[in-house]
Amino acid sequence: MARTRETLKNVAVEGATQPGVGGGTPTQYRVAVAGASGRMGHMLIEAIREAHDCRLAGALDLPSSPSIGNDAAAFLGHASGVPVTADIRTGLQNAEVLIDFTRPEGTLNHLKLCRELGVKAVIGTTGFSEAQKELIADTARDVAIVLAPNMSVGVNVTFKLLELAAKVLDDGYDIEIVETHHRHKVDAPSGTALKMGEVIAKVLERDLKKVAVYGREGVTGERDARTIGFSAVRGGDIVGDHTVLFAGTGERIEITHRAANRATYAQGSLRAVRFLADKASGLYDMFDVLGLK
């Protein structure tokens, strides 16, 4: 008899084996979540609970979090049997993969233990410096890592559309990137907006560090046609909107992605977890996960 959706949820959270076709027992990926009591952490834990092939194996948060010691799925009204802990080693000891959407310093601390314990990582943290990105790449020599500024499938398809648009609109079009996020976001421009700029600049054979313009104020002079502009808006509880404007003479093209909630990031993260299943080491991105390269 087919299992109901609710039954699949219960199986995933309790870590029981889910009968497969012909009575087999499919793999369940043991996943730890960093920032477990935050907004994104909650969304990830809920997605893991609903996934028949994943189960929560660890939950990390800061020592100051009021959730320390509580069941990680308590906010859902269910028991996962996994307490939220500030001890990184304890949080990772039963995990195969860590999903991390925290802050750069925290992510790098987690990766030190991931490297030691052989735990793979899916990293959605943004705001890394070039030196920090190099540390991640070095860690990927020993453990497999998916690093992406945005785990959304739709956003990564948007990146691909921007490649096509930039190839065609490479002359006579001014490029501006506008991103909007909630009031709690601490970095600007967003990692997704920067990635959009990188995608476009690569196609146009421009150095983004030299052509990027971050906001404008005062008498700025006439716009340099080779620049790529960035504008950041912060307010309310907006999950994330990104628009790239190609403004030509007599027309303009806008490519926009809007996220209604964080579920899209969580589902993309689980696709990355599955992608890493047969990878021992290496640094990958969502184009690898989605087969867009």
- Residue 55, Cβ density class (10 Å: 0-12 exposed, 13-18 middle, ≥19 buried): buried
pLDDT truncated to tens, each residue of the chain (293 aa)? 333 333 333 433 333 333 333 444 457 999 999 999 999 999 999 999 999 999 999 999 999 999 999 999 999 999 999 999 999 999 999 999 999 999 999 999 999 999 999 999 999 998 899 999 999 999 999 999 999 989 999 999 999 999 999 999 988 999 999 999 999 999 999 999 999 999 999 999 999 999 999 999 999 999 999 999 999 999 999 999 999 999 999 999 999 999 998 899 999 999 999 999 999 999 999 999 999 98
In the block, residue with structure tokens 């989605």? 290
Q: Which two tokens stand for residue 262?
A: 């964080």
What tokens appear for 159 in the block? 């990146």
Q: Which among 105, 104, 106, 100 has a CA at the least distance from the CA of 121?
A: 100
Q: Enter the tokens of residue 12.
A: 């995933």
Name the pairing type of β-strands 84-85 and 252-259: unpaired
For residues 78 and 49, is the Cβ–Cβ distance under 8 A?
yes
What are the residue ranges spanned by the domains of the chain?
5-147+262-290, 153-259
Distance CA 283, CA 140 (A): 5
- Residues annotated as catalytic (active site), given as ranges: 181, 185
182-192 pLDDT tens trace? 999 999 999 99
| Rounded Cα distance, 187 and 132, in Å | 15
**What pLDDT does residue 26 have?**
59
Contact 179, 193 (CB under 8 A): yes
Q: State phi, psi for 36 to the nearest 5 degrees.
A: -60, -25
194 φ, ψ (degrees, to nearest 5):
-65, -40
Burial (CB count within 10 angstroms: exposed 0-12, middle 13-18, buried 19+), residue 219 = exposed
Q: Is-above-0.75 flag for pTM?
A: yes
Q: How far apart are CA 258 and CA 250, in angstroms?
A: 26
Q: Which superfamily does 5-147+262-290 belong to? A: NAD(P)-binding Rossmann-like Domain (3.40.50.720)
What is the C-alpha to C-alpha distance for residues 37 and 65, in angstroms, rounded to an integer? 8
pLDDT for res 243: 98
The highest-level CATH class for domain 153-259 is: alpha beta
To 5 degrees, how large is the angle CA 32–CA 93–CA 72?
40
What span, in angstroms and rounded, lies between the C-alpha atoms of 8 and 78? 14
User: Can you list the positions of beta strands (E) in 61-195?
Assistant: 84-85, 97-100, 120-123, 144-147, 174-181
Q: Check: CB of residue 124 under 8 Å from CB of residue 148.
A: yes
Q: Which helix (H) or strand (E) holds 139?
A: helix 130-139
